[in-house]
Structure 1
Amino acid sequence: MPLVGTGELVARAHAAGHGVAAFNVITLEHAEAVAAGAEAAGAAAVLQVSENAVRFHGGRLGPVAAAAAAVARASSAPLALHLDHVESPELLRAAPGAGFGSVMFDASKLPYAENVAATAEAVRFGHAHGMWVEAELGRVGGKPGDPSPGRGPLDAHAPGARTDPEEAREYVAATGVDALAVAVGSSHAMTERTAALDHGLIGELRRAVPVPLVLHGSSGVPDGELRRAVASGMVKINVGTALNAALTGAVRAFLEREPRVVDPRRYLAPAREAMAETVASFLRTVSPAGGPAGAVPAGAVSP
């Protein structure tokens, strides 16, 4: 199936009151697992390549983007290709030529005024090149390099970490972003699903902000909390660490059983299957099979 735009999937889910899940892709097996999981769940999904993943691949965007796009086009599920957590202006400018119809520009580490200025410039560039642009306000935290004084990575409950609804309203108006990632109690890189979200704040943000809301750090959010988050107003649900945990757990279990195996296909096959099961589970939680998020007409293409 041709690539479908992230903006198209998010708009359809938003209109229907459903969510659409977006999964971080690091290896070819990640991309294949997202496609297989979406097909099993009968739902649409977004394949995300982050700036960190590009750095892992030697700073070369083209090969990993081409691989993810090829997997998406070969799938029977509606899949989009999205460039995630971009801080580098050079990487942002490379996105359209690499086939991305959407990008998350991340200036959240900057002071508010600088965040607004940098994001508005990114939006102007993105829209001029037909890209749907997401940004972040507040600090989801949990990533290396996101310091919280004395505690390492920024804590999701640290004072000032959560997104203020009035500031969010002003930010969207000033930047022109198409979607807004907000800090409401989740955190990146969580390996246990114990996060408790501020659903009252999600509702306030939904009423304050005229664009779809995005939840980062969803790997650490239990299914019930995710369903409530979607019901409260979250639309795009980002998942990364849960796939890595599934992959690593399956590889570790296989090699504990068969420590002499050296052919990576032997342990990557069950790892890919474990990731696909994880993808399908998240999709069934936030995007019911057959719902509007998964009902994109064949041949539809948009940024």
Structure 2
Amino acid sequence: MPLVTTGELVTRAAARHSAVAAFNIITLEHVEAVVAGAESADAPVVLQVSENAVRFRHGRLLPLARAAAAAAERAAVPVALHLDHVQSDDLLRQAPGAGFSSVMYDASRLPYAENLAATRAAADWAHSRSLWIEAELGRVGGKDGQAPLDAHAPGARTDPDEARAFVTASGVDALAVAIGSSHAMTTRTATLDHALLTRLSGALDVPLVLHGSSGVPDGELAAAAAGGIAKVNVGTALNIAMTGAIREFLAAHPEAVDSRQYLDVGREAMARTVAGVLRVLEASRPSADVHT
């Protein structure tokens, strides 16, 4: 079916007190696995490409973006394209021409005032091109001589009052908040601060996003979706599934040299992981109807 927009999927999920899943893609196998998993779960999905993934592809955005768009247009479920964790203004400006409907602009490494100024400029530019824009805010340092604290550092938390001021001044369409998850977790042991999530949900009138969802157990993830998170980002879980399946295959077949054999099992493992996450989120929905 035709590409849908990230804003459409996230807004719809937020209205239903549920969440849409966004999966980071690196290879064509990632793309195919995410679409296959979404079709298996009969759920909408977001394919997202990070600035790190673009760097891995020698700075070339279009090859992976074109592949993702082609797969999305042939999918049996709604699929959107999102450009993730963008710090480069040059990459930001490539988003519309590469088929992306949304971008996460990441200036969270900067002190609050600089983060706000950079994000406001990015939001103005994005909105002038009809792009939906997400930003991120953790517990910001730079106060009383402290260095800025990364939004995914242990103990980082988003302050509701600061978040409300940031969203109002920046004009972003969604905000990724720090409530206990962390990027690149290889174990599902994160414990989320649901009381803080309730406060953030009450303080903000834009959809909330959870980064680092690979490390969040199913129950915590479902509770977050029901409690105000409208978009969950998953990346590391796919790489764990793919790498584990390939290792197991090669250990059992040391004579194998045809990369299609082990890439196939890796792709299938990622698709199962995608379907599993989507089913957790579907179970948290008040309504099972995902397409209307």
TM-score interval w.r.t. the shorter chain? over 0.9
- CA deviation string 1:18-37 (max 9, x = no partner): 11000000000001001000
Is 1:179 equivalent to 2:174 in the alignment?
yes
- Structure number with greater CO (CA < 8 Å, separation at least 6) is 1
Distance, in Å, in 2 between the alignment partners of 1:55 and 1:231 is: 35
Question: Any idea what SS the aligned residue of 2:242 has?
Answer: helix
CA RMSD of aligned residues (A): 1.9
CA offset digits 1:172-194 (Å, max 9, x no partner): 00000000000000000001000
Instruction: Find the residue that maps to 2:21 and give its secondary structure.
Output: strand
Task: Return the match for 1:190 from 178, 185, 189.
Answer: 185
Contiguous gaps of at least 5 residues in structure 1: 141-146, 297-303
Q: Distance in 2 between matches of 1:274 and 1:293?
A: 26
Q: Does the residue aligned with 2:93 lie in a helix, a strand or coil?
A: helix
Aligned pairs (5 A) from 1:194-273: 194-273=189-268
Listed one character per residue, the Cα deviations across residues 27-82 of structure 1 (whole Å, up to 9, x for unaligned) are: 00001001000000010000000000000000011111101111111111110000
Contact 2:152–2:178 (CA under 8 A) maintained in structure 1: no
Please give the alpha-carbon distance, in whole angstroms, between the structure 2 residues aligned to 1:265 and 1:148: 45
| 1:253 CA drift (Å) | 0.3
Q: Could you tell me which residue of structure 1 aligns to residue 290 of structure 2? A: 294
**Paired amino acid for 1:7:** G
Change in 2 beyond 3 A, CA 1:226/1:95: same
Change (3 A) 1:73 1:139: farther
1:277 aligned residue: 272
For 2:26 and 2:137, locate their aligned partners in 1 and report how far apart those are by CA, in whole Å: 25
Q: Which amino acid aligns with 2:109?
A: K
State the identity as a percent: 63
Residue type at the aligned position of 2:31: A
Match of 2:82 in 1: 82
Q: Does 1:110 align with 2:106?
A: no
Shift of 1:260: 1.4
- Alignment of 1:54 with 2:54, yes or no, is yes
Residues 10, 293 of structure 1: 8 Å contact kept? no
Aligned CA distance change for structure 1 residues 51 and 292 (closer, same or farther; 3 Å): farther
Equivalence for 1:72: 72
Q: Deviations over 1:231-285 (max 9, x none)?
A: 2111100000000000000000000000111111000111101000000000011
| Alignment partners' CA distance in 1, 2:152 and 2:98 | 34
User: Residues 34 and 290 from structure 1, CA distance in 2 versus in 1: closer, same or farther, beyond 3 angstroms?
Assistant: farther
Structure 1 consecutive aligned stretches of length 4 or more whose deviation exceeds 2 Å: 153-158, 287-294
Cα pair 1:181 1:213 within 8 Å, conserved = yes
Aligned to 2:12: 12
Structure 2: where are the runs of 5+ without partners? 141-146
Give the conservation status (yes or no) of the 8 Å contact 2:108–2:151.
Answer: no
TM value normalised by structure 1: 0.90
How many residue pairs get matched?
285
CA distance in 2, matches of 1:293, 1:12: 11
Q: Give the 3-state SS of the residue equivalent to 1:294 in structure 2.
A: coil
- Give distance in 1, aligned partners of 2:104 and 2:220: 24
Task: Indicate the residue corresponding to 1:157 in structure 2.
Answer: 154
Partner Cα separation in structure 1 for residue 289 and residue 209 of structure 2: 15
1:98 to partner: Cα distance:
0.7
CA drift at 1:293 = 7.3
Q: How far apart, CA to CA, are the structure 2 residues paired with 1:66 and 1:294?
A: 26
Contact 1:19 1:293 in 2 (8 A): no
